[in-house]
Amino acid sequence: VLDQSRTGYSGKAFTDVVSIGIGGSYLGPKLVNEALQPYWQGGMRCHFVANIDGTDILEVLRQVNPETTLFLIQSKSFRTQETLENSNVARQWLVDYCGDDSAVAKHFLAVTANVPGAESFGIQADQVFPMWDWVGGRYSLWSAIGLPVALTIGMDNFRSLLAGAHAMDSHFQDAPLAQNLPVVMGLLGVWYNNFWNAHTHAILPYDQYLRSLPDHLQQLDMESNGKSVTETGAPLACESGPIIWGGTGSNGQHAYHQLIHQGTRLIPADFIIPLKTHNPVATHHADLFANCLSQSRAMMAGKSLAEARAELAAEGHSDAEIEELAPHKVIPGNKPSNTLVLEQVTPETLGALIALYEHRTFVQGVIWGVDSFDQWGVELGKQLGKGILPRLLGKDEQDTGSDSSTDHLIELFRSVGDY
């Protein structure tokens, strides 16, 4: 595709790839594709579609040309509802434009463990990239699920991404426990979660290219370790994984950092920042680095009542004003954080960073005794949806035994008729 040896049905080279998936088939590739934008090659633009909300697929289709767009369906089972419905919309859009079903074979690829399912969609067998059915989506970036990344950064850079991950794999396997980064981070997470009652953990990347890292790690950690029974099925006797959230610095400093510094909850945080930026502008990166260090220091050191009083006195406030204002300026400090420093966001360092969090998640799962590789809670909503959808569409009027609240909301939807 990058060398333009493969073209669309009209003979034009591809300029855009639309990756259609959800969960791990979406979050991991989207993160890496954004993070490695400085390494994009060949002018190929990559778009991602995941949400079943029709706005997602239609807004992407408005940006691309049918003759120069390659669609990549990413679904291990090739039965995921959101992915198939969005893929059918894309397929019909293409066929309506060119008037020929045979164009599907020119414009669609698939990554799946269900090759027959992809073939029935109209994708040729030699255009299906197989994956193992035992790979969970949140761990699948390193497999053929990473194809949209390879299509934009090239195979050499994709191999460098894998090499970085492999280096972290080797470190996790071989390093002594006291110097083993995934083990140390995993133990710290358990310490704060189970012994200090920290219910959440903030991921704070100080790099715009890493803006989707909190979203990816949210699924990785919470889908893996959000369990209430052990591997043997016994009730879990302790709290399992924390709520993962976060966003880019320094934006968060003007939003939720207030809660971190002065709120009543203990919120451990990971600060992540590169030493070098891909886009040097004036003193921006030094400013960004200073913000990162000042925020982590403020979490650690805080500000005492005596310091607050002295600060107000130096500003010329009266004794009465000092006593009134000083308590509001106290910051407790002693809030835990890690600072992870990369030389620069490159394929190698990004691969190592993502693998670090994968292994940290596994370490915590082992300590809690949960299976970090299943996700039965996700399946329940899918099962219930199979009974609700026909009723919403007026195809099944029978009572399926749902609750009165759900029944009322179904009736409300049907009364509007927007389907």
Catalytic residues: 223, 254, 382
Phi, psi of 74 (to 5 degrees): -115, 100
Phi and psi, residue 228, nearest 5°: -120, 5
Which residues are registered as beta bridge partners of 204? 271
DSSP 229: B
What is the CB neighbour count within 10 angstroms for residue 186?
21
Residue written as tokens 């396997």? 173
Give the SS3 label for residue 73.
strand
Residue 298's alpha-carbon distances to 189, 261, 287, 302, in angstroms, are: 20, 7, 16, 5
What are the DSSP calls for 88-125, one per residue? HHHHHHHHHHHS-GGGHHHHEEEEES-HHHHHHHT--G
In the three-class reduction of DSSP (H, G, I as helix; E, B as strand; rest coil), residue 134 is classed as coil
76 close to 113: Cβ distance less than 8 angstroms: yes
Distance, in Å, from the CA atom of 124 to the CA atom of 105, rounded to the nearest integer, reads 6
- β-strand 108-112 against 45-49: which pairing, if any? unpaired
Looking at residue 132, the DSSP 8-state letter turns out to be -
Q: Which of 60, 21, 280, 42 is nearest to 152 (CA)?
A: 42
Cα(69)–Cα(18) distance, rounded to whole angstroms? 7
Among 403, 399, 379, smallest CA distance to 391 is for 399
Q: Rounded CA gap, 388 and 400, in Å? A: 8
List % helix, strand, coil for the chain (3-state, nearest 5): 55, 10, 35
